[in-house]
């Protein structure tokens, strides 16, 4: 290495750090497409940060100007429309990547020992993403922004005695107002992103401590150079995995830009039509619903015909994810080697998430409510029954590394 | 200083960490307090006067008080009779668990039988219910009332919530009075009443 390089390396060992974590980080070669989702999430995070900074240059967080400042940016600023659509579509793509990323963990048992902490750090990131998405959704101050804020702050009022006071404290006024908008702005652009960066750091450190899982569920020492006979099965992250990741990232970026250029609102799924109307505190839109990625939780809220219990079940549906590592009693990790019951339950679970997502977006008629309740039961059933069905089913013998 | 005894060291550790924790809590307090509604937010709550001369039965006037939408409606003779029957039984028929001023604690939840004033904020999660005075306009048994489309809560023409819907209590009735026949003041019980300011 050059003299300058050596000099720097002795004072700040970047090259050594990268070598340890990329070239000398070993994974199983069965790692597949699903393992590129983490990389995509990183790219989407960068897209959000960069487009967000440029949005900030024109956005004004007051009730008078929020809506019009965004319209102005989209119509009058060169490429303003592009910057805004990158951010809006980016949010949805971020969630798509994360949902696939989480599904991968369910599929291959990546939450199981020794990756419980890694999984839980992921759940924290997911909750923070929801918080960021929600506070960001408020900023354009359209009809949906306003009413979603009203409804979600009202969740606090279910808390006995202190609930009302807590809601007023959070919104900083007797009703959702300009005060609420500017503090949500502070949360969205500073507070929550700082915390999420911290947790993403923790996530990656935790990953590199225990090493990546794989579809076969075999245990690989991530930090030890494999013996000669294993060199085809255990490969270093750089250059093998990273080139695969890059390929998937480019395909995902192409899809992403395709949507940004040709269908930026994605038929009202990524940017709702009703939110193109400025907020009006006097009129609730006849049908309010959240963006697709939060819709399943909203469906669960509506499924329960009691205010307090509805909010409790909605939060439980998130919190239960933390306990997953201890609910799964199976001796094997990957679905490839688990029994029929686990596979069936995972299918039913995915179906119920999708169906809850659908029912959260359509009006709450009696038939819709009936099905929403069925799928809510199935959603929780997957977790609550897990200690039973993972114990009684027969699994296949997973391979050993040799 | 060299601390020799182990228990002494432990005691010092305990004191330093617990006092720091208490200090951190105190340091947090101003930030927490700063998020509370300020003076400006509170000053918008003074009473407002509304002219109701032209208000006909089955009509609604919508105004804002304390940033909240307020509906002023006029009920017909039939609707008043319907309310007296208290049927089909609402969840809180006598408004024991709901918010209304003392002088509106009656079957109509209002000062006069015909004029009804209500805060148009659903007690479920804060949407604005729509005023649906016509019979059967929400479902076939609908006797007129307020319907919240967000999660389907139903209220009668006195703002009382029906059973089997997510809203737990009746719509809130604000304090108000009539300085004369054609005017209504919202936000106070009587002239000069500053309690709610
Ligand atoms: C900003 C969001 C996130 C980023 C940037 C991120 C990044 C990553 C990366 C780069 C990896 C290694 C590559 C891979 O396995 O895909 C990984 C692994 C993992 N992540 Fe995430 N992640 C995020 C959110 C989440 C969430 C929300 C969860 C779950 C609730 C989660 C759970 C996991 C698990 C269990 C692994 C280990 C997978 C295995 O080794 O099989 N992550 N993450
Ligand atoms: S807010 Fe009215 S029913 Fe939920």
Rounded-to-integer distance, Cα A255 and Cα A48, Å: 16
Inform me whether the pLDDT recorded for A320 exceeds 50. yes
A:B CB pairs within 8 Å? 87
Chain B residues whose beta carbon lies within 8 Å of the beta carbon of residue A173: 37, 41, 67
pLDDT of residue B197: 40
pTM: 0.90
Give the residue-averaged pLDDT of A215-224. Answer: 94
Residue A110 has φ and ψ, to the nearest 5°, of -70, -10
Q: How confident is the model at residue B1 (pLDDT cuts 50, 70, 90)?
A: low
Tell me, what DSSP letter sits at residue B161?
A: B
Q: Which residue has the tokens 């009656």?
A: B106
* Ligand 2 nearest atom to the CA of residue B148, by list position: 2
Collect all residues of chain B within an 8 Å Cβ-Cβ radius of residue A172: 35-38, 41
> B83 or A82: whose pLDDT is higher?
A82
Question: Average pLDDT, whole number, for chain A?
Answer: 95
Contact A349, A355 (CB under 8 A): no
Average pLDDT on B148-174 reads 88
What is the per-residue pLDDT for B48? 87
Which residue is listed with tokens 């700082």?
Answer: A194
Mean pLDDT, chain B, rounded, equals 86
- Say how far apart CA A288 and CA A27 lie, in whole Å: 46
Identify the weakest region by mean pLDDT among A116-120, A262-266, B6-10: B6-10
Indicate whether B6 pLDDT > 70: yes
Q: Is A165 on the interface with B (CB under 8 A)?
A: no
DSSP string computed for A31-85: --GGGGHHHHHHHHHHHHHHHHHHHHTT---STTTHHHHHHHHHHHSTTHHHHHH
For residue B196, name the pLDDT band (cuts at 50, 70, 90): very low
- Between A320 and B95, the more confident residue is A320
pLDDT for A52-107, tens place per residue?
Answer: 999 999 999 999 999 999 999 999 999 999 999 999 999 999 999 999 999 999 99
How many CA atoms, within 13 angstroms, populate the side-chain half-sphere of residue A94? 22
Q: How confident is the model at residue B168 (pLDDT cuts 50, 70, 90)?
A: confident
Distances from the Cα of A316 to the Cαs of A48, A135, A222, A305, A311, in angstroms? Answer: 29, 21, 35, 16, 9
Does the CB atom of residue B160 touch ligand 2 within 6 A? Answer: no
For B26-37, the pLDDT digits (tens) are: 999 999 999 998
Q: How many residues does chain B have?
A: 197
Lowest mean pLDDT among A62-76, A318-332, A372-386, B47-61: B47-61
Residue A94 is predicted with a pLDDT of 98
Up-side HSE of residue A347: CA atoms within 13 Å toward CB? 6
pLDDT the model gives residue B86: 66
- Could you tell me if A282 lies within 8 Å of chain B, comparing CB atoms? yes
Over pLDDT 90: what percentage of chain B? 43
Band of pLDDT at residue A175, cut at 50, 70 and 90? confident
Q: Are A128 and A118 in contact (CB under 8 A)?
A: no
In percent, how much of chain A has pLDDT > 90? 86
* A149-158, B88-97, B141-150: segment of lowest average pLDDT: B88-97
Q: Is the pLDDT of residue A307 over 70?
A: yes
pLDDT at A54: 97
User: Is a pLDDT exceeding 90 seen at residue A174?
Assistant: no
pLDDT digits (tens, 9 = 90+) for A325-344: 999 999 999 999 999 999 99
CB atoms within 10 A of CB A356: 26
- Residue-wise pLDDT for A334-371, tens only, equals 999 999 999 999 999 999 999 999 999 998 788 998 99
pLDDT, residue A49, reads 98
ipTM above 0.85, yes or no: no
CB under 6 Å to ligand 1: residues? A 35, 37-39, 41-42, 45, 98, 101-102, 105, 108, 110-111, 115, 118-119, 122-123, 125-126, 200, 203, 207, 212-213
Judged by average pLDDT, the poorest of A11-15, A38-42, A159-163 is A159-163
The segment with the largest mean pLDDT, out of A266-270, A284-288, B1-5, is A266-270
Residue A235 gets which letter from DSSP?
A: E
Chain A nearest C-alpha distance from B114 (Å): 23
Given this model, what pLDDT does residue A131 score? 97
Cα A184 off chain centre by: 20
Burial track A152-176 (b if 16+ CB lie within 10 A, e otherwise): bbbbbbbeeeeeeeebbebbbbbbb
Most ligand 1 atoms within 8 A of CB, residue of A122, A193, A195 to mutate: A122
The predicted structure's pLDDT at residue B2: 63
What does the pLDDT look like over A16-26, one tens digit per residue?
999 999 999 99
d(CA A250, CA A297): 31
Average pLDDT score over residue span B64-71: 87
pLDDT band at B95 (very low <50, low <70, confident <90, very high): confident
Does B194 score more than 60 pLDDT?
A: no
B43 pLDDT band (50/70/90 cuts)?
Answer: low
Q: Give B123 Cα–ligand 2 centroid separation in angstroms.
A: 7
Other Cβ atoms closer than 10 A to B176: 25
N residues, chain A: 402
């Amino acid at each position: 290495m050059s003299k300058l390089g050596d000099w720097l390396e002795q004072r700040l060992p970047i090259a050594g750090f990268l070598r340890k974590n990329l070239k000398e980080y070993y994974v199983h070669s069965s790692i597949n497409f699903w393992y590129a989702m983490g990389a995509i999430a990183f790219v989407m995070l960068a897209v959000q940060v960069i487009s967000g900074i440029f949005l900030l240059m024109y956005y004004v967080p007051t009730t008078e100007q929020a809506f019009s400042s965004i319209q102005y940016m989209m119509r009058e600023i060169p490429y303003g429309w592009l910057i805004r659509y990158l951010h809006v579509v980016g949010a949805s793509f971020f969630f798509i990547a994360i949902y696939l990323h989480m599904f991968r963990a369910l599929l291959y048992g990546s939450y199981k020992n020794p990756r419980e902490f890694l999984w839980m750090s992921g759940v924290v990131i997911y909750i923070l993403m929801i918080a960021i998405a929600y506070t960001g959704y408020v900023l354009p101050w359209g009809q949906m922004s306003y009413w979603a804020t009203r409804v979600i702050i009202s969740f606090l009022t279910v808390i006995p005695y202190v609930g009302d006071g807590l809601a007023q404290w959070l919104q900083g006024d007797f009703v959702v107002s300009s005060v609420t908008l500017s503090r949500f702005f502070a949360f969205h652009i500073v507070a929550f992103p700082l915390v999420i960066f911290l947790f993403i750091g923790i996530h990656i450190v935790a990953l590199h401590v225990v090493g990546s899982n794989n579809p076969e569920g075999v245990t690989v020492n991530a930090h030890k150079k494999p013996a000669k006979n294993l060199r085809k099965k255990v490969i270093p992250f750089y250059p093998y995995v990273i080139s695969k990741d890059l390929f998937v990232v480019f395909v995902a970026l192409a899809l992403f830009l395709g949507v940004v250029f040709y269908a930026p609102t994605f038929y009202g799924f990524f940017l709702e039509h009703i939110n193109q109307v400025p907020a009006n505190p006097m009129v609730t839109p006849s049908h309010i619903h959240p963006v697709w990625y939060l819709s399943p939780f909203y469906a669960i809220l509506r499924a329960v015909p009691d205010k307090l219990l509805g909010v409790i079940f909605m939060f439980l549906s998130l919190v239960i994810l933390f306990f997953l590592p201890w609910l799964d009693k199976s001796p094997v990790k990957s679905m490839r080697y688990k029994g029929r019951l686990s596979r069936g339950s995972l299918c039913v679970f995915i179906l119920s998430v999708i169906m809850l997502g659908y029912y959260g977006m359509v009006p709450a008629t009696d038939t819709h409510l009936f099905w929403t309740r069925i799928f809510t039961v199935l959603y929780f059933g997957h977790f609550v029954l897990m200690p039973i069905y993972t114990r009684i089913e027969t699994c296949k013998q997973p391979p050993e590394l040799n | 200083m060299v601390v020799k005894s182990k228990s002494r060291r432990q005691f010092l550790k305990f004191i330093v960490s617990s006092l720091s924790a208490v200090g951190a809590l105190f340091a947090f307090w101003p930030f927490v307090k700063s998020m509370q509604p300020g003076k400006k937010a509170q000053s918008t709550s003074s009473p407002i006067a509304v002219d109701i001369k032209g208000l006909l039965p089955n009509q609604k006037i919508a105004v804002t008080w304390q940033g909240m939408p307020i509906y002023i409606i006029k009920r017909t003779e039939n609707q008043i009779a319907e309310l007296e029957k208290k049927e089909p039984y609402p969840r809180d028929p006598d408004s024991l668990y709901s918010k209304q001023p003392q002088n509106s604690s009656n079957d109509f939840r209002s000062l006069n039988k015909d004029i009804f004033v209500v805060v148009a904020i659903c007690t479920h999660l804060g949407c604005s219910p729509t005023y649906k005075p016509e019979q059967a306009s929400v479902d076939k048994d609908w006797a007129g009332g307020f319907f919240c489309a967000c999660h389907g809560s139903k209220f009668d023409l006195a703002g009382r919530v029906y059973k089997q819907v997510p809203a737990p209590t009746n719509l809130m009735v604000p304090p108000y009075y009539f300085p004369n026949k054609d005017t209504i003041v919202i936000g106070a019980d009587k002239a000069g009443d500053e309690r709610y300011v």
